[in-house]
Amino acid sequence: MKALVLPALERPEGMTTHDYAFARLRQAIMVGAFRPGTSVTIRGLAEALESSPTPVREALRQLTSIGALHFLENRRIVVPRITPARFEELISLRIVLESHAARRAVAHLSDRQIDRIVATDDAIEAAILAGQKAAALIANQQFHRQIYMANPDQIAMPLIESVWLQLGPILGIAMEHVAELYVVDRHREAIDALRRRDEDAVAEAIAADIREGIGGFDQQAIAKLLALAA
Delimiting residues of CATH 1.10.10.10 domain(s) in the chain: 17-79
pLDDT digits (tens, 9 = 90+) for 96-143: 999 999 999 999 999 999 999 999 999 999 999 998 989 999 999 999
**Residues of the chain with pLDDT > 90: what percent?**
77
Residue 13's pLDDT is what? 93
Which amino acid belongs to residue 170? Answer: I
Angstrom distance (rounded) from CA 75 to CA 118 = 45
Interior angle at CA 130, CA 12 and CA 29, nearest 5:
45
Report the side by side order of strands in the sheet with 77-78. 39-40, 77-78, 70-71
Which amino acid belongs to residue 185? Answer: D
Residue 177's pLDDT is what? 80
Split at pLDDT 50, 70, 90, the class of 211 is: very high
Q: Domain spanning 17-79: which CATH class is it, in words?
A: mainly alpha
CATH node for 84-229: 1.20.120.530
Largest interatomic CA distance in the chain: 56
Angstrom distance (rounded) from CA 33 to CA 72 = 20
Rounded (10°) CA dihedral 115, 145, 128, 215? -120
Residue 213's pLDDT is what? 86
Delimiting residues of CATH 1.20.120.530 domain(s) in the chain: 84-229
**Pairing outcome for strands 77-78 and 70-71:** antiparallel
Q: Is residue 82 scored above 70 in pLDDT?
A: yes
Angstrom distance (rounded) from CA 141 to CA 129 = 17
Distances (CA, A) of 174 to 7, 46, 211: 17, 28, 12
With residue 43 as reference, give the H or E element that holds it. helix 42-49
